[in-house]
Amino acid sequence: MELKYEFYINAGREEVWNALISSEGTRSSFFGSELRSNFQPGQPFAYVGPGNDGEETVHVYGEILEFEPLSTLGYLEHPGPSYHSNHAELQSRVIFQLENVGECTKLTLINDQFTDNHPSYANAQNSWWMILSSIKTWTETGKTLNFGW
């Protein structure tokens, strides 16, 4: 199973990269969560924000696979502990890639290598559209999307 999305964003790679890794960028695009990591391959990361366990809910966590500034962010991810009791057994890979296309930035997202019968697969199909649309809107306008939650 592979989910793949390509978005063309009317912003430079630095702005799009900032949306992927900065606290301000991730809070605006990843449902209020902040990406916490030192971004060294082999090291942990977590998206932490408001949720089931209060303000410090771990929504997704895992290990950084690849980190090339302004180019590639890759990680193995698990759903947060409050979502599934077997969260450590559930895994998928996420890769964000940025490239210049004219004066735009092409953002490619690949989410693959899902554990068999991963319960978050269907949710990921819907959530990535929202996250990527939020990244595009935030980098182009400085505004966030309100999904009414």
For the segment 110-136, what is each residue's pLDDT rounded down to a tens digit? 999 999 989 989 889 989 999 999 999
CA 13 – CA 107 distance, rounded (Å) = 9
Of 15-19, 30-34, 100-104, 107-111, the poorest mean pLDDT is in 30-34
Tell me the per-residue pLDDT of 77-118, one tens digit each, with 9 for 90 and over. 999 998 889 999 999 999 999 999 999 999 999 999 999 989
Q: What is the pTM of this model?
A: 0.93
Domains and CATH numbers, the chain: 3-141 (3.30.530.20)
Would you place residue 32 in the very low, low, confident or very high pLDDT band (cuts 50, 70, 90)?
confident
